């Protein structure tokens, strides 16, 4: 049995048609959660998760509540089986499910918040269009220097520090084009990402104040277990400061690499990717030191839930 478990929740682009359906078929509590999702979004979001079409599911305004609902469904069934996290973290959007895991937010408040977040980010992406790219084979130090140099041509930032040599950059097209030419000069590799906006940079700043004001009307509790936040890779227990962190996350980098290293330092003995597509497993596998005894698992449906429970008895 695992003594110290970390839950990791995926963010945008982890969606897949059919996600959450087997859990909803199996558990009435999950069906109730998806009914709540439909009510909050005022449209049949559960059907979109289960059946698509993909063209609608990938829209930011739909992706954010849809993925969060599936993350929360996976969390719910784990908790129902008696599995709780000592530490939680979520990748960007996934951070809201981590707050539910730690008792900061209720499920339905988290869904309300991410619905608003998706709407605001979509609005800003239309007003301030931008692009994102994944950079491989270069250190964070080298990529940061490239970004700094390219900023002379416009808005550019590090969006995600996903692993030692996978860093996502974000911003306007002109500085991005220049930055990618510098990446090539440094013998790095870059892959443009299929996204609808330049997340985690100053192009999103128009949403920050309104998002913070929206969260002011929602009750945040003090965490009952540890949450490691994207922007700081550290803890925060003050509910009002957590609201600030979650609003500023829109323009701040995701320090995923530092978060996973912190979990290793905290001596967790299992990390569980809680949500669709096993994306967090892939990232974590590149960070956890070779030879580590930490068990890396995923729970995205009934089969993976049963497999994890059988290992944790």
The residues carrying an active-site annotation are 92, 200
Angle between helices 60-80 and 107-127 (to 10 degrees): 160
Cβ distance 54 to 112 under 8 Å? no
- The single residue listed with the structure tokens 């978060």 is 259
Which residue, 255, 28, 79, 74, is CA-closest to 164? 255
Cβ distance 191 to 143 under 8 Å? no
C-alpha–C-alpha distance, residues 302 and 289, integer Å:
29
Which residue, 122, 8, 26, is CA-closest to 65? 122
Cβ distance 12 to 60 under 8 Å? yes
Dihedral sign for Cα atoms in the order 96, 102, 107, 108: negative
Q: Which two tokens stand for residue 68?
A: 């969060």
| Residue partners of 29: CB distance under 8 A and separation at least 6 | 76, 77, 80
Length of the chain in terms of residues written: 313
- The single residue listed with the structure tokens 């897949």 is 16
C-alpha–C-alpha distance, residues 244 and 225, integer Å:
19
The 3-class SS string of 197-238 reads CCCCCHHHHHHHHHHHHHHHCCCCCCCCCEECCCCCCCCCCC
DSSP for residue 280: H
Cβ distance 164 to 258 under 8 Å? no
């Amino acid at each position: 049995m695992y003594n110290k478990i970390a839950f990791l929740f995926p963010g945008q682009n982890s969606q897949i048609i059919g996600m959450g359906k087997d859990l909803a078929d199996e558990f009435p509590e999950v069906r109730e959660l998806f009914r709540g999702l439909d009510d909050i979004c005022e449209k049949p979001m559960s059907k979109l998760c289960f059946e698509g079409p993909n063209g609608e599911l990938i829209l930011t305004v739909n992706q954010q509540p849809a993925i969060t609902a599936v993350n929360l469904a996976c969390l719910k069934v784990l908790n129902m089986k008696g599995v709780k996290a000592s530490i939680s973290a979520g990748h960007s959007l996934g951070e809201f499910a981590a707050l539910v895991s730690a008792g900061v937010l209720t499920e339905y408040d988290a869904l309300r918040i991410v619905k608003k977040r998706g709407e605001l980010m979509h609005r800003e992406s239309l007003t301030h269009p931008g692009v994102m790219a994944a950079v491989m084979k270069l250190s964070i130090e080298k990529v940061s220097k490239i970004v700094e140099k390219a900023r002379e041509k416009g808005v550019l930032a590090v969006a995600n520090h996903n692993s030692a040599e996978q860093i996502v950059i974000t911003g306007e097209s002109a500085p991005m084009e220049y930055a990618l030419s510098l990446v090539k000069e440094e013998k790095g590799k870059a892959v443009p990402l299929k996204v609808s906006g330049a997340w985690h940079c100053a192009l999103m700043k128009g949403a920050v104040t309104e998002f913070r004001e929206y969260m002011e009307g929602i009750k945040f509790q003090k965490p009952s277990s540890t949450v490691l936040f994207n922007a700081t890779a550290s803890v925060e227990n003050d509910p009002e400061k957590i609201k600030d962190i979650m609003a500023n996350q829109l323009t701040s980098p995701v320090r995923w690499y530092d978060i996973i290293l912190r979990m290793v330092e905290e001596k967790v003995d299992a990390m569980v990717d809680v949500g669709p597509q096993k994306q967090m497993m892939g990232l974590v596998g590149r960070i956890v030191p070779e030879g580590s005894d930490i068990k890396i698992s995923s729970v995205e449906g009934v089969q993976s839930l049963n497999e994890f429970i059988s290992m944790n008895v």
